[in-house]
Amino acid sequence: LKPAVHALFKKLKDEELELLVQVVESRGAWESGCVLAPRGDPRGVKQGLPPQVLLCRLFRWPDLHQSHELKHLCYCAGGQGACGDLAGLCCNPHHFSRLAVPETPPPPYLKASCEHENQGMEPAVTPSRRKRLRQGMRGSCWGSLCSPLPGTSLSWSTIKDGCWCKLAYWEYRTRVGRLYAVHEASVNVFCELPWGSGFCLAQLPAAYRSCAVRRARGKIGRGLLLSQEPGGVWAYNRSEHPIFVSSPTLSPPGACGLTVLKVLPGYSAKVFDYQWAGDRGGWQLPGEGPCDPHSIRISFAKGWGPCYSRQFITSCPCWLEVLLNQPR
């Protein structure tokens, strides 16, 4: 890549090079401006890589191959439909994320259990684990996600306060702090983010935190970026550890099971699709009862669900509840 990179650098203006140095050295710790490469082919024909792929491959993902593996982040001008109006093409490597795909195959330590469930059979569990599962089923209906009776959904669509979502932070079964209303198109959720603003979890007090919660909180770091974009909601993992996401629109239509999507560091995923949500009356989860169909749940560093050792998100030490207003 060396000749292609040198050819690209020669065509960048001094201020673009300076901005690129700052972005790379900070590893995207702040929302920087676009690094504009001249339109046309700035490299030799031999490499055949667009500028954004070239720099993302050089500074972030050596295994990157094609531009369709990338997604513009919401604060990039090129991602707002303005790319054609710019003097050049944005190639800031921290204005892009990779697209997350469902993890296959499932984790091997529970692969047999998943196969049994797919065949309609109950996976074998020990008496002690069966007891824990029953306790989880009795106590897993929580907060504003739960709808005790059909037609009594507590969707935030009934609240006309101008925000598109509200965030609640949980540690196991305990909600910590107040709801955080989001009015801007995007919001950072983090524990440590230099030069950042948004929902800072480190500022939320708690009377007691177990060692497991403290360890999980130590992995949140720069957290994630939630953005409302045309058609749905996207989550970009800014931390150095995976996040795990579930929502009604991540599961195939008609599915009765739970889909939990693993999003690796540096990856983005469309975690809610407004069109797929439609007018669903409820989100029914095995063992957890009906839940608000316009909601997203995100666990930091720890997965849950049929193919994980934790069956319910209330078994995860640190997780986020996103309550969506239905778009008007």
Q: Three-state SS string across the chain, please?
A: CHHHHHHHHHCCCHHHHHHHHHHHHHCCCCCCCCCEEECCCCCCCCCCCCHHHHHHHHHCCCCCCCHHHEEECCCCHHHHCCHHHCCEEECCHHHEEEECCCCCCCCHHHHHHHHHHHCCCCCCCCHHHHHHHHHHHHHCCCHHHECCCCCCCCCHHHCCCCCCEEEEEEECCEEEEEEEEECCCEEEEECCCCCCCEEEHHHCCCCCCCHHHHHHHCCCCCCEEEEEECCEEEEEECCCCCEEEECHHHCCCCCCCCCCEEECCCEEEEEEEHHHHCCCCCEEECCCEEECCCEEEEEECCCCCCCCCCCCHHHCCCEEEEEECCCC
Strands 96-99 and 267-273: parallel
Positive/negative CA dihedral, 99, 197, 295, 286: positive
pLDDT at 114 exceeding the cut of 50: no
pLDDT tens digits, one per residue of 292-316: 778 999 999 999 988 788 989 999 9
Which of 88-92, 101-105, 319-323 is predicted with the least confidence, judged by mean pLDDT? 101-105
Cα distance between residue 274 and residue 164, in whole Å:
12
What pLDDT sits at residue 32? 86
Which of 110-114, 209-213, 290-294 is predicted with the least confidence, judged by mean pLDDT? 110-114
Cα distance between residue 110 and residue 286, in whole Å:
18
Angular region, 158: left φ>0, alpha ψ -120 to 50, beta rest: alpha
Place of tokens 């710790």: 29
Domains of the chain by start residue, with CATH: 1-40+47-99 (3.90.520.10), 165-281+289-324 (2.60.200.10)
pLDDT at 35 exceeding the cut of 60: yes
Q: How many CA atoms lie within 13 A of 236 on its CB side?
A: 23
Mean pLDDT score of the chain: 77
Tally of CB atoms within 10 A around 284: 14
What pLDDT sits at residue 104? 47
Percent pLDDT > 90 in the chain is 47
Cα distance between residue 173 and residue 313, in whole Å:
9
Cα distance between residue 258 and residue 140, in whole Å:
14
What pLDDT sits at residue 47? 54
**Bridge partners (DSSP) listed for residue 167:** 180, 322
Q: How confident is the model at residue 205 (pLDDT cuts 50, 70, 90)?
A: confident
Cα distance between residue 176 and residue 196, in whole Å:
21
pLDDT at 282 exceeding the cut of 90: no
pLDDT at 54 exceeding the cut of 70: yes
pLDDT tens digits, one per residue of 153-171: 334 343 456 899 999 999 9
Q: Shortest CA distance to 233 belongs to which of 187, 283, 192? A: 187
Tally of CB atoms within 10 A around 4: 19
Q: How confident is the model at residue 140 (pLDDT cuts 50, 70, 90)?
A: very low
Is pTM beyond 0.85? Reply is no
Percent pLDDT > 70 in the chain is 70
